[in-house]
A and B are shown apart, each in its own frame.
Chain A
Amino acid sequence: MPTEFTPLLSLAGGLLIGLAAVLLMAVHGRIAGITGILGGLLPGSGEADQGWRAGFLLGMIAAPSVLLLATGAMPAVEVPVSTLALVAGGFLVGLGATFGSGCTSGHGVCGLSRLSARSIAATLTFMATGGITVFLVRHVFGG
């Protein structure tokens, strides 16, 4: 399934993501890593400060409705994979991001901008295995 090349929209989205990450640090003193924010809300995390976590995630969930109000269209969520791939992939995402202490937002945006060695190593690793996985699924096994 081809998608349209959208450099300006993607750049604008990136600027907003960066702005939100900076604001979260300025106001709450926290890294905008979705794995960490979500993980702290799950039962047994031992985190006491759940108000800002819930607020942040609810704000993210409200974003499509705000776009719908502003533009009249719900943003596209096209899923070119099977339900099995969604479930298996999702499980590995949750497992790996927890062991790896972060995901695209925590390591890829917040960590890289702080020049954290751990985040640089993690980002290079998950970009590489993500690319290899897509190559294998689409061009080796998928045909």
Chain B
Amino acid sequence: MRSLSAFLIGLLFGLGILLAGMANPAKVLNFFDIAGTWDPSLAFVMGGALMVTAIGYRLVFRTGQPLLAPRFLVPTRKDLDLRLIGGAAVFGIGWGLSGFCPGGLVPALGTGETAPLIAFAAVVAGMLAARLIGMLQARQKLAPDARPS
């Protein structure tokens, strides 16, 4: 039941991404290319999505509990740190190089084209690399004396 409802919601999300043009790198890169072949369409994606979520979230949170889960899991951190800003900066550089963000990439996988597969493998490699770096940093913090010299 949980997987099926998530599938249907994911399908809706994917259809939105595809209609919006977010799964098409040419369109994404043209949104950024103000000095060249500028296509401002993606501003309308953000506008439409924010209108619905800004109102919808407020209504949903008022219900007190999700339908199929014990509680709402929402990030509570408010601090700005180097990890957040540095990570976002690196993400933006990668997005500007490839034209694919994770949300655009996943539906693009379903078209059967080769380019999304290549980009997806690279994204997963980047995620695993980030996790490995995070684990090494955590280990160094836990045992500073055990660090290899």
Which B residues, 1 to 36, have Cβ-Cβ distances below 8 Å to chain A? Answer: 2-27, 29-30, 32-36
Q: Are A122 and B85 in contact (CB under 8 A)?
A: yes
A38 vs B46: C-alpha distance when bound (angstroms): 21
Tell me how far the C-beta of A52 lies from the nearest C-beta in chain B, rounded to whole angstroms: 4
Closest to A60 in B: B14
| Chain B at the A interface: SS class | helix
Residue from A17, A29, A74 whose CB has the most chain B CB atoms within 10 Å: A17
Q: Are B90 and A100 in contact (CB under 8 A)?
A: yes
Known: A92-B126, A122-B88. A78 touches B25 (CB 8 A): yes
Closest to B2 in A: A52
Closest to B121 in A: A90
Chain B, interface size category, equals: 35 or more
Closest to B117 in A: A86
A54 vs B86: C-alpha distance when bound (angstroms): 29
Count how many chain A residues have C-beta atoms less than 8 Å from C-beta atoms of the other chain.
113
Q: Are B21 and A13 in contact (CB under 8 A)?
A: yes
Taking a contact as CB atoms closer than 8 A, the residue among B75, B98, B116 that contacts A93 in the complex is B98
Known: A103-B102, A112-B50, A118-B80. A10 touches B41 (CB 8 A): yes
Residues of B within 8 A of A131 (CB): 32, 34, 92, 96
Residues of B within 8 A of A117 (CB): 78, 80
A129 vs B86: C-alpha distance when bound (angstroms): 10
A14 vs B46: C-alpha distance when bound (angstroms): 6
Residues of A within 8 A of B67 (CB): 26-28
Taking a contact as CB atoms closer than 8 A, the residue among A16, A17, A85, A91 that contacts B129 in the complex is A91
Closest to B78 in A: A117
Q: Are A16 and B15 in contact (CB under 8 A)?
A: yes
Taking a contact as CB atoms closer than 8 A, the residue among B9, B20, B74 that contacts A114 in the complex is B74
**Is A48 an interface residue, CB under 8 A from the partner?**
no
Residues of B within 8 A of A17 (CB): 13, 16-17, 20, 45, 48-49, 52
Residues of A within 8 A of B95 (CB): 89, 93, 104, 126, 130, 133
A19 vs B127: C-alpha distance when bound (angstroms): 27
Residues of B within 8 A of A65 (CB): 110
Tell me how far the C-beta of B113 lies from the nearest C-beta in chain A, rounded to whole angstroms: 5
B residues with a Cβ closer than 8 A to A are 2-27, 29-30, 32-37, 39-54, 56-57, 59-61, 63, 65-75, 77-80, 83-113, 115-116, 118-131, 134
The 9 closest A-B pairs by CB, nearest first: A94-B126, A14-B48, A59-B10, A13-B20, A100-B87, A89-B98, A18-B52, A63-B14, A133-B96
